[in-house]
Structure 1
């Protein structure tokens, strides 16, 4: 198995998002959730519509799954917007898998998720190996570089120690400039 790294270039991430958005709303949502939440692939694929929607049918602000309650998984505006579009384009009921296969009522497979991400990476000109763990690493790397405490990233990624998290996101190898701007 090849070792994968986070996608550090925001421009490459944008190229991947553009490719996926033009290709499939479902695939775009999968990618957005992966890079913006850091949850594990198996948990992403196990999501059901009721995990992202409130009882009134509106997309929730926070993901509703117990394994990610501390800290809760915030669904930012781009995620909510893409989920709203995806749900409006498809006839899914509350109990359906969010990332449902087009052929069955099951979720897409890990292999299909890999193919989706790999195609987007190739299109963006990423030559390094890319896998589904890349999405979690990308989340952690960018959260850390934007000043999120390593302890919070560690909790989200469900790691045992801060050093494990730093190694996972690749910041123990190179220094990531963290801008702490206290503007009182």
Structure 2
């Protein structure tokens, strides 16, 4: 399926949502709930009519840590929901696969629609995770709180969450563990199968290879440009690492 990215541009996001409406309002509401709550697609497809009928918002528990999120429906959302649930069984699924079916929409069909609509508005990196990643990116941009998202999605580290939303990591956050449990887990993993020493050795070997090649007369300017950029990043990492050590707290 390829890499799936959040939709970061407001104009593109609006065009995508309106294109979903042209296919069917159920896809629009499904997407609105997804980017409003951070729910996984498979969880949205389990929603029943009674979960949203006559309500101005939806509150859900996300992930293993059961983090609560709430999405306030707009007036337009409520109008669409009213039409979707009108005259239907309260215990029936909100997002149906077919008009005459009682079964929920399949994950595969949702993906196909997202992909087709995405291509129609010029978005290629789109898929079933688009809603969640868009929610996460928008939340991070409005709060700067990567730890909340890390816990919501049960990621092992902030670095994973930064990659998930397609953002350059805040090195101070990535280097500093947040809890004693996370520090203990890191120690265990680094000693497991001597992983920590192996990773350090691999990094040292790579740096040595660059140093050994540094004076090679066959190097072109692009080599030195890459080395310069790499060292700029490395200098920042080293400085932040030093500042993040417990003795500097």
Match of 1:87 among 79, 82, 95: 82
Instruction: Give aligned pairs, total.
Output: 169
- The verdict on how the C-alpha distance between 1:148 and 1:106 changes in structure 2, with shifts beyond 3 A counting, is farther
Tell me how far apart the structure 1 counterparts of residues 129 and 159 of structure 2 sit (CA, whole Å): 18
Mapping of residues 14-33 of structure 1, within 5 Å: 14-33=14-33
8 Å contact kept, 1:31–1:117: no
Matching residue of 1:106: 103
Offset, 1:154? 2.4
Offset, 1:95? 0.7
| Normalised TM-score (structure 2) | 0.59
Cα RMSD after superposing both structures = 2.7
Judging by fraction of residues, say which structure has more helix.
2
8 Å contact kept, 1:62–1:74: yes
| Normalised TM-score (structure 1) | 0.78
Matched, 1:118 2:92: no
- The verdict on how the C-alpha distance between 1:39 and 1:148 changes in structure 2, with shifts beyond 3 A counting, is farther
- Rg larger in structure: 2
- The verdict on how the C-alpha distance between 1:169 and 1:36 changes in structure 2, with shifts beyond 3 A counting, is same
Tell me how far apart the structure 1 counterparts of residues 103 and 9 of structure 2 sit (CA, whole Å): 33
1:36-75 deviation digits (Å, cap 9, x = unpaired): 221111111111122334xxxx215233568689432212
Tell me how far apart the structure 2 counterparts of residues 148 and 44 of structure 1 sit (CA, whole Å): 26
Matching residue of 1:161: 157
- SS of alignment partner, residue 94 of structure 1: coil
Matching residue of 1:129: 125
Offset, 1:111? 1.3
Offset, 1:16? 0.7
Which structure 1 segments of 5+ residues have no match?
176-184
1:116-144 deviation digits (Å, cap 9, x = unpaired): 21222122211x23111121111111211
Which structure 2 segments of 5+ residues have no match?
172-249
Matching residue of 2:183: none
